[in-house]
Copies of this chain bind each other. A is one copy, B any other.
Amino acid sequence: MKSPTAILLLHCPDAHGIITDVTKFITDNHGNIVDLDQYVDHIDNMFFMRLEWDLTDFIIPRDKIQDYFDTLYAQKYQMTFSLYFSEDKPRMAIFVSKMSHCLYDLLARYKAGEWDVEIPCIVSNHEDLRYIADQFGIPYYVWSINKDHSNKAEVEQAEMELLRKENISFIVLARYMQIISDQMIQEYQHKIINIHHSFLPAFIGAKPYHQAWERGVKIVGATSHYITADLDAGPIIEQDVVRITHRDTPESLVLKGRDLEKIVLSRAVTKHIERKILTYHNKTIIFN
Protein backbone atom coordinates (compact mmCIF):
# COMPACT_ATOMS: atom_id res chain seq x y z
CA MET A 1 0.00 0.00 0.00
CA LYS A 2 1.12 3.51 -0.79
CA SER A 3 2.08 5.62 2.21
CA PRO A 4 0.11 8.84 2.75
CA THR A 5 1.87 11.92 1.39
CA ALA A 6 1.57 15.67 1.57
CA ILE A 7 1.86 17.78 -1.57
CA LEU A 8 2.94 21.39 -1.58
CA LEU A 9 2.52 23.62 -4.64
CA LEU A 10 4.12 27.02 -4.24
CA HIS A 11 5.44 30.02 -6.09
CA CYS A 12 7.23 33.18 -5.02
CA PRO A 13 9.82 35.66 -6.24
CA ASP A 14 13.07 33.80 -6.82
CA ALA A 15 15.61 34.11 -4.00
CA HIS A 16 18.68 32.36 -2.62
CA GLY A 17 18.09 29.41 -0.38
CA ILE A 18 14.42 28.61 -0.94
CA ILE A 19 15.00 24.99 -1.90
CA THR A 20 17.41 24.46 0.99
CA ASP A 21 15.05 26.07 3.47
CA VAL A 22 11.95 24.22 2.39
CA THR A 23 13.56 20.80 1.99
CA LYS A 24 15.30 21.26 5.37
CA PHE A 25 11.89 21.87 6.94
CA ILE A 26 10.67 18.54 5.59
CA THR A 27 13.81 16.61 6.40
CA ASP A 28 14.30 18.05 9.89
CA ASN A 29 10.78 16.99 10.76
CA HIS A 30 11.35 13.46 9.50
CA GLY A 31 9.48 13.74 6.26
CA ASN A 32 10.92 11.76 3.34
CA ILE A 33 10.78 13.69 0.08
CA VAL A 34 9.42 11.40 -2.63
CA ASP A 35 9.19 13.98 -5.39
CA LEU A 36 10.54 17.45 -5.99
CA ASP A 37 10.13 19.42 -9.17
CA GLN A 38 11.06 23.07 -9.36
CA TYR A 39 11.23 25.63 -12.09
CA VAL A 40 12.53 29.15 -12.24
CA ASP A 41 11.00 31.61 -14.66
CA HIS A 42 14.04 33.77 -15.38
CA ILE A 43 11.93 36.27 -17.33
CA ASP A 44 9.58 37.09 -14.45
CA ASN A 45 12.15 36.01 -11.85
CA MET A 46 9.65 33.69 -10.18
CA PHE A 47 10.26 30.40 -8.42
CA PHE A 48 7.81 27.50 -8.68
CA MET A 49 7.95 24.19 -6.83
CA ARG A 50 5.98 21.01 -6.25
CA LEU A 51 7.12 18.96 -3.30
CA GLU A 52 5.65 15.65 -2.17
CA TRP A 53 6.75 13.91 1.01
CA ASP A 54 5.89 10.77 2.90
CA LEU A 55 3.96 11.55 6.09
CA THR A 56 4.63 8.24 7.85
CA ASP A 57 7.27 9.59 10.24
CA PHE A 58 6.53 13.28 9.84
CA ILE A 59 6.32 14.76 13.31
CA ILE A 60 4.14 17.79 12.57
CA PRO A 61 0.44 16.88 12.75
CA ARG A 62 -1.40 17.29 9.47
CA ASP A 63 -3.68 20.02 10.73
CA LYS A 64 -0.71 22.10 11.82
CA ILE A 65 1.41 21.86 8.66
CA GLN A 66 -0.36 24.65 6.83
CA ASP A 67 0.03 26.99 9.76
CA TYR A 68 3.67 26.13 10.48
CA PHE A 69 4.69 26.43 6.86
CA ASP A 70 2.89 29.71 6.48
CA THR A 71 4.56 31.22 9.55
CA LEU A 72 8.03 29.85 8.94
CA TYR A 73 8.50 30.18 5.18
CA ALA A 74 5.59 31.57 3.21
CA GLN A 75 5.79 34.99 4.80
CA LYS A 76 9.58 35.10 4.59
CA TYR A 77 9.56 34.44 0.85
CA GLN A 78 6.16 36.00 -0.02
CA MET A 79 4.97 32.62 -1.19
CA THR A 80 1.59 31.67 -2.54
CA PHE A 81 1.09 28.01 -1.71
CA SER A 82 -1.44 25.18 -1.60
CA LEU A 83 -1.21 22.11 0.59
CA TYR A 84 -2.89 18.81 -0.29
CA PHE A 85 -2.98 15.35 1.26
CA SER A 86 -2.97 12.26 -0.89
CA GLU A 87 -5.65 10.75 1.32
CA ASP A 88 -8.15 13.49 0.48
CA LYS A 89 -9.80 12.11 -2.61
CA PRO A 90 -10.87 14.89 -5.00
CA ARG A 91 -14.59 14.95 -5.78
CA MET A 92 -15.27 15.53 -9.45
CA ALA A 93 -18.50 16.62 -11.13
CA ILE A 94 -18.99 16.02 -14.86
CA PHE A 95 -21.08 18.36 -17.02
CA VAL A 96 -22.31 17.04 -20.37
CA SER A 97 -24.69 17.93 -23.17
CA LYS A 98 -25.45 15.38 -25.90
CA MET A 99 -22.18 13.83 -27.03
CA SER A 100 -21.18 10.61 -25.31
CA HIS A 101 -17.54 9.99 -26.22
CA CYS A 102 -15.82 12.01 -23.49
CA LEU A 103 -18.27 10.87 -20.82
CA TYR A 104 -17.75 7.20 -21.66
CA ASP A 105 -14.03 7.67 -21.65
CA LEU A 106 -14.00 9.39 -18.25
CA LEU A 107 -16.30 6.81 -16.65
CA ALA A 108 -14.42 3.84 -18.11
CA ARG A 109 -11.21 5.17 -16.52
CA TYR A 110 -13.00 5.83 -13.24
CA LYS A 111 -14.48 2.33 -13.23
CA ALA A 112 -11.09 0.76 -14.06
CA GLY A 113 -9.57 2.53 -11.06
CA GLU A 114 -7.20 4.71 -13.09
CA TRP A 115 -7.97 7.74 -10.93
CA ASP A 116 -8.02 8.29 -7.18
CA VAL A 117 -11.23 10.30 -7.34
CA GLU A 118 -14.94 10.26 -6.51
CA ILE A 119 -17.61 11.12 -9.08
CA PRO A 120 -20.79 11.82 -7.11
CA CYS A 121 -22.79 13.47 -9.88
CA ILE A 122 -23.23 14.16 -13.58
CA VAL A 123 -25.00 17.38 -14.60
CA SER A 124 -26.62 18.08 -17.95
CA ASN A 125 -28.99 20.36 -19.78
CA HIS A 126 -30.40 17.39 -21.69
CA GLU A 127 -31.79 13.96 -20.88
CA ASP A 128 -29.80 12.32 -23.73
CA LEU A 129 -26.97 10.77 -21.74
CA ARG A 130 -28.92 9.65 -18.69
CA TYR A 131 -28.59 6.03 -19.86
CA ILE A 132 -24.81 6.23 -19.47
CA ALA A 133 -25.07 7.61 -15.94
CA ASP A 134 -27.48 4.75 -15.24
CA GLN A 135 -25.06 2.19 -16.74
CA PHE A 136 -22.48 3.36 -14.21
CA GLY A 137 -24.87 4.00 -11.33
CA ILE A 138 -24.05 7.68 -10.96
CA PRO A 139 -26.78 10.25 -10.17
CA TYR A 140 -27.68 12.32 -13.24
CA TYR A 141 -29.20 15.78 -12.81
CA VAL A 142 -30.90 17.63 -15.61
CA TRP A 143 -31.71 21.31 -15.63
CA SER A 144 -32.76 22.48 -19.07
CA ILE A 145 -32.10 26.04 -19.92
CA ASN A 146 -34.87 27.81 -21.83
CA LYS A 147 -34.14 29.01 -25.31
CA ASP A 148 -34.50 32.61 -24.13
CA HIS A 149 -32.19 31.83 -21.20
CA SER A 150 -34.87 33.24 -18.90
CA ASN A 151 -34.23 30.55 -16.28
CA LYS A 152 -30.43 30.58 -16.50
CA ALA A 153 -29.90 32.22 -13.10
CA GLU A 154 -32.25 29.72 -11.46
CA VAL A 155 -30.52 26.76 -13.06
CA GLU A 156 -27.13 27.96 -11.98
CA GLN A 157 -28.39 28.46 -8.46
CA ALA A 158 -29.58 24.84 -8.40
CA GLU A 159 -26.28 23.63 -9.84
CA MET A 160 -24.26 25.59 -7.29
CA GLU A 161 -26.33 24.08 -4.50
CA LEU A 162 -25.67 20.60 -5.80
CA LEU A 163 -21.94 21.26 -6.09
CA ARG A 164 -21.82 22.53 -2.53
CA LYS A 165 -23.97 19.72 -1.17
CA GLU A 166 -21.76 17.14 -2.88
CA ASN A 167 -18.65 18.97 -1.75
CA ILE A 168 -17.31 19.02 -5.31
CA SER A 169 -13.64 19.93 -5.61
CA PHE A 170 -13.46 20.31 -9.39
CA ILE A 171 -15.62 20.21 -12.49
CA VAL A 172 -14.98 18.58 -15.86
CA LEU A 173 -16.87 19.93 -18.86
CA ALA A 174 -17.05 16.88 -21.09
CA ARG A 175 -18.26 18.65 -24.24
CA TYR A 176 -20.76 20.73 -22.22
CA MET A 177 -22.04 23.25 -24.72
CA GLN A 178 -23.15 26.00 -22.35
CA ILE A 179 -21.41 29.11 -21.11
CA ILE A 180 -20.46 28.81 -17.43
CA SER A 181 -21.64 31.67 -15.22
CA ASP A 182 -19.19 34.08 -13.66
CA GLN A 183 -20.26 33.00 -10.20
CA MET A 184 -19.35 29.37 -10.79
CA ILE A 185 -16.05 30.40 -12.40
CA GLN A 186 -15.36 32.54 -9.34
CA GLU A 187 -16.08 29.77 -6.87
CA TYR A 188 -14.17 27.17 -8.87
CA GLN A 189 -11.28 29.27 -10.05
CA HIS A 190 -8.87 27.09 -12.03
CA LYS A 191 -10.97 24.12 -11.02
CA ILE A 192 -13.20 23.85 -14.10
CA ILE A 193 -11.53 21.90 -16.89
CA ASN A 194 -12.90 22.30 -20.40
CA ILE A 195 -12.09 20.49 -23.63
CA HIS A 196 -12.15 22.70 -26.71
CA HIS A 197 -12.17 20.89 -30.02
CA SER A 198 -9.45 22.89 -31.71
CA PHE A 199 -5.81 23.68 -31.40
CA LEU A 200 -6.28 26.92 -29.47
CA PRO A 201 -5.88 29.80 -30.10
CA ALA A 202 -6.85 28.76 -33.62
CA PHE A 203 -10.58 28.42 -34.18
CA ILE A 204 -12.04 29.90 -31.03
CA GLY A 205 -15.80 29.63 -30.58
CA ALA A 206 -18.39 27.57 -32.39
CA LYS A 207 -17.86 24.78 -34.92
CA PRO A 208 -14.04 24.72 -34.89
CA TYR A 209 -13.84 21.63 -37.09
CA HIS A 210 -15.84 23.42 -39.76
CA GLN A 211 -13.58 26.44 -39.41
CA ALA A 212 -10.53 24.17 -39.75
CA TRP A 213 -11.96 22.53 -42.85
CA GLU A 214 -12.77 25.92 -44.38
CA ARG A 215 -9.20 27.11 -43.80
CA GLY A 216 -7.70 23.95 -45.28
CA VAL A 217 -5.33 23.11 -42.42
CA LYS A 218 -3.36 19.86 -42.57
CA ILE A 219 -3.53 19.17 -38.83
CA VAL A 220 -6.37 19.56 -36.33
CA GLY A 221 -6.10 19.64 -32.56
CA ALA A 222 -7.85 19.67 -29.23
CA THR A 223 -7.10 21.75 -26.15
CA SER A 224 -7.96 21.27 -22.50
CA HIS A 225 -7.87 24.41 -20.39
CA TYR A 226 -9.21 25.94 -17.22
CA ILE A 227 -12.31 28.01 -17.75
CA THR A 228 -11.97 31.73 -17.14
CA ALA A 229 -14.28 34.62 -17.88
CA ASP A 230 -12.81 34.97 -21.40
CA LEU A 231 -14.17 32.42 -23.88
CA ASP A 232 -11.61 29.72 -24.77
CA ALA A 233 -8.84 31.91 -23.36
CA GLY A 234 -8.10 30.26 -20.00
CA PRO A 235 -4.77 28.64 -19.03
CA ILE A 236 -3.99 25.73 -21.38
CA ILE A 237 -3.29 22.41 -19.66
CA GLU A 238 -2.79 20.03 -22.57
CA GLN A 239 -3.03 19.92 -26.35
CA ASP A 240 -2.63 17.31 -29.00
CA VAL A 241 -3.09 17.08 -32.74
CA VAL A 242 -3.85 14.67 -35.55
CA ARG A 243 -2.89 14.88 -39.20
CA ILE A 244 -5.64 15.27 -41.78
CA THR A 245 -5.78 15.56 -45.56
CA HIS A 246 -7.82 17.24 -48.27
CA ARG A 247 -10.01 14.12 -48.24
CA ASP A 248 -11.40 14.95 -44.82
CA THR A 249 -14.82 16.52 -44.56
CA PRO A 250 -16.18 18.46 -41.60
CA GLU A 251 -17.87 15.20 -40.60
CA SER A 252 -14.71 13.09 -40.68
CA LEU A 253 -12.90 15.81 -38.73
CA VAL A 254 -15.57 15.56 -36.04
CA LEU A 255 -14.92 11.81 -35.85
CA LYS A 256 -11.13 12.11 -35.78
CA GLY A 257 -11.41 14.90 -33.27
CA ARG A 258 -13.36 12.75 -30.83
CA ASP A 259 -10.34 10.59 -30.14
CA LEU A 260 -8.20 13.65 -29.56
CA GLU A 261 -10.77 15.20 -27.25
CA LYS A 262 -11.02 12.10 -25.07
CA ILE A 263 -7.29 11.79 -24.65
CA VAL A 264 -6.47 15.44 -24.20
CA LEU A 265 -9.24 15.86 -21.64
CA SER A 266 -8.26 12.76 -19.69
CA ARG A 267 -4.60 13.80 -19.56
CA ALA A 268 -5.63 17.15 -18.09
CA VAL A 269 -7.90 15.49 -15.55
CA THR A 270 -5.07 13.14 -14.53
CA LYS A 271 -2.67 16.03 -13.95
CA HIS A 272 -5.31 17.93 -11.97
CA ILE A 273 -6.11 14.95 -9.75
CA GLU A 274 -2.42 14.42 -9.08
CA ARG A 275 -2.09 18.09 -8.06
CA LYS A 276 0.59 18.65 -10.67
CA ILE A 277 -0.78 21.87 -12.15
CA LEU A 278 0.03 25.36 -10.94
CA THR A 279 -1.46 28.35 -12.75
CA TYR A 280 0.35 31.65 -13.05
CA HIS A 281 -0.39 34.60 -15.31
CA ASN A 282 -2.95 32.67 -17.34
CA LYS A 283 -0.48 29.86 -18.06
CA THR A 284 0.04 26.49 -16.45
CA ILE A 285 3.17 25.01 -14.98
CA ILE A 286 2.79 21.23 -15.30
CA PHE A 287 5.07 19.44 -12.85
CA ASN A 288 6.57 16.01 -13.50
Contacts and interface: CB of A to CB of B under 8 A. Distances in A.
A72 B255 CA distance: 39
Interface of A: 16-17, 19-20, 23-24, 26-27, 32-40, 42-43, 100-101, 104-105, 108-109, 111-112, 114, 135-136, 199-203, 215-219, 221, 235-241, 243, 245-247, 249, 255, 259, 263, 266, 282-286, 288
A18 B98 CA distance: 42
A33 to B, nearest CB: 6
Contacts of A239: 217-219
Nearest to A24: B20
A43 B249 contact: yes
Given A19-B33, A23-B23, A219-B241, A246 B286 contact: yes
Contacts of A218: 236-239
Give the residue among A20, A35, A37 with the most B Cβ atoms within 10 A: A20
A104 B104 CA distance: 8
20 contacts: A17-B27, A19-B19, A19-B23, A19-B36, A20-B24, A20-B27, A37-B37, A104-B111, A135-B135, A135-B136, A199-B199, A200-B202, A216-B284, A218-B236, A241-B241, A243-B243, A246-B284, A246-B286, A247-B288, A259-B266
Given A27-B20, A39-B247, A216 B112 contact: no
Contact of A216 (B114, B235, B246): B235
B16 A246 contact: no
